[in-house]
Amino acid sequence: MTPRNEQYERWIAQKILAARQTTTIGEAGKTGTWRTIRPVLIPEKCLVVKSGKPTCHKCWLYCPEATVSRSIPPVFDYDYCKGCGICATECPTEAIQMVPEKEAPSCAETIANAGGNADA
Amino acid sequence: MPEKLVITGNFAAAYACKSANVDVVAAYPITPQSPVVEKISEFVESGEMPDTQFICVESEHSAMAACVGAAEAGARVFTASSANGLALMFELLCWCAGARLPAVVCIASRALGAPWTVWTDHQDAISMRDTGFMHQFCETNQEIYDSVLMAYRIAEDPRVFLPMFVTYDGYLLSHTMMPVQIEDPEKVRDFLPPLKTHVDVGELGETRSVSAVIPPDITVRPEGNTPGYMEYRYAMQKAHEYAIDVIEEVNREFKVKFGRSYGNGIYTSYKIEDADILIFGIGSVASQSRMAVDQLRSEGIKAGLISLKLFRPFPVKHLREIFTRVPLVVVFDRDVAYGYEGVLAYELKAALYPCQNRPIIRSYIVGLGGRNIPTDTLTKAVKRAIKEKDDSSVQLDPHTDFLDLDLDRLGLSIEDMQKEAQ
Ligand code: SF4
Ligand code: SF4
Interface of A with B in 9-68 (CB under 8 A): 9-10, 12-24, 27-28
A74-80: average pLDDT: 94
Do B399 and B348 lie in one domain? The reply is yes
Nearest residue of B to residue A6 by CA position?
A: B242
* Same-domain status, B183 and B278: no
User: For residue A73, how many other CB atoms are within 10 A of its CB?
Assistant: 14
Distance from CA of B99 to the nearest CA of A (A): 5
Considering the domain architecture, whether residues B289 and B245 belong to the same structural domain is answered as: no
Residues B321 and B367 occupy one common structural domain: yes
pTM: 0.86
Assign B98 to helix, strand or coil. helix
Give the total residue count for chain B.
422
Side-chain half-sphere exposure of B83, counting CA atoms within 13 A: 24
Q: Mind telling me how many Å the CA of A99 is from chain B's nearest CA?
A: 27
Answer yes or no: do B331 and B243 share one domain.
no
CB of A93 within 6 A of ligand 2: the answer is: yes
The residues on B that touch A, with CB distances below 8 Å, are: 71-72, 98-101, 158-159, 161, 198-199, 204-205, 207-213, 226-227, 231-232, 234-236, 238-239, 241-242
Q: What is the CATH number of the domain that holds B324?
A: 3.40.50.920
pLDDT > 90 fraction of chain A, expressed in percent and rounded: 55
The response to whether residue A71 sits with its C-beta less than 6 Å from ligand 2 reads no
Closest residue by Cα to atom 2, ligand 1, is A84
Q: A with B: how many residue pairs have Cβ under 8 Å apart?
A: 70
pLDDT class of A119 with cuts at 50, 70, 90: very low
Report d(CA A64, CA A66) in Å as an integer: 6
Under the banding of pLDDT at 50, 70 and 90, the label for residue A15 is confident
Count of domains observed in chain B = 2
CA nearest neighbour of B122 among B311, B355, B324: B311
Task: Say yes or no for a CB contact (<8 Å) between B235 and A17.
Answer: yes
Same domain, B271 and B253: no
Whether A4 and chain B come into contact, CB under 8 Å, resolves to no
**pLDDT at position A19 over 80:** no
User: What is the ipTM, given to two decimal places?
Assistant: 0.83
* pLDDT value for A118: 43
Please enumerate in sequence order all residues whose Cβ is within 8 A of that of A90, keeping only pairs 6 or more positions apart, or say none: A58, A59, A61, A62
DSSP state of B116: P
* A72 Cα to chain B: minimum distance (Å): 20
Domain A34-120 has CATH 3.30.70.20: yes
CA of residue B28 to ligand 2 center, whole Å: 33
B208·A14 Cβ contact <8 A: no
Name the pLDDT band for A1 (thresholds 50, 70, 90): low
| pLDDT per residue as tens digits for the range A81-93 | 999 999 999 999 9
Do B12 and B154 have their domain in common?
A: yes
Ligand 1 centroid, distance to A7 Cα (angstroms)? 46
Nearest CA to B119 among B369, B287, B336, B335?
B369
pLDDT in tens, B119-164: 999 999 999 999 999 999 999 999 999 999 999 999 999 899 999 9
Verify whether ligand 2 is closer than 6 Å to residue A47 (CB atom): yes
B245 and B298 in one domain?
no
> Which residues form the domain of B322?
267-421
Closest residue (by CA) to atom 4 of ligand 1? A87
Residues of chain B with pLDDT under 70: 198-212, 223
Where in B343-402 does DSSP place strands (E)? 360-365
Q: How far, in Å, CA of B7 to CA of B181, rounded?
A: 10
Q: How far apart are the CA of B254 and the nearest CA of chain A, in angstroms?
A: 23
Find the A65 Cα to ligand 1 centroid distance in Å. Answer: 7
Is the distance from the beta carbon of residue A87 to the nearest atom of ligand 1 less than 6 Å? yes
B162 domain-assigned: yes
Q: If pLDDT is split at 50, 70 and 90, which confidence band does A120 have?
A: very low
- Co-location of B276 and B193 in the same domain: no
- Distance from residue B226's CA to the centre of ligand 1 (Å): 27
The one-character DSSP state at B132 is: S
Q: Is the CB of A58 under 6 A from ligand 2?
A: yes
Q: CATH code at B95? A: 3.40.50.970
Contact: B198, A16; criterion CB under 8 Å? no
Q: How far apart are CA B369 and CA B123, in angstroms?
A: 9
Same domain, B252 and B302: no
Q: Please identify, by atom number, the ligand 2 atom nearest to the C-alpha of residue A58.
A: 1
Predicted pLDDT of residue B230: 93
Asked if B275 and B188 sit in the same domain, the reply is no
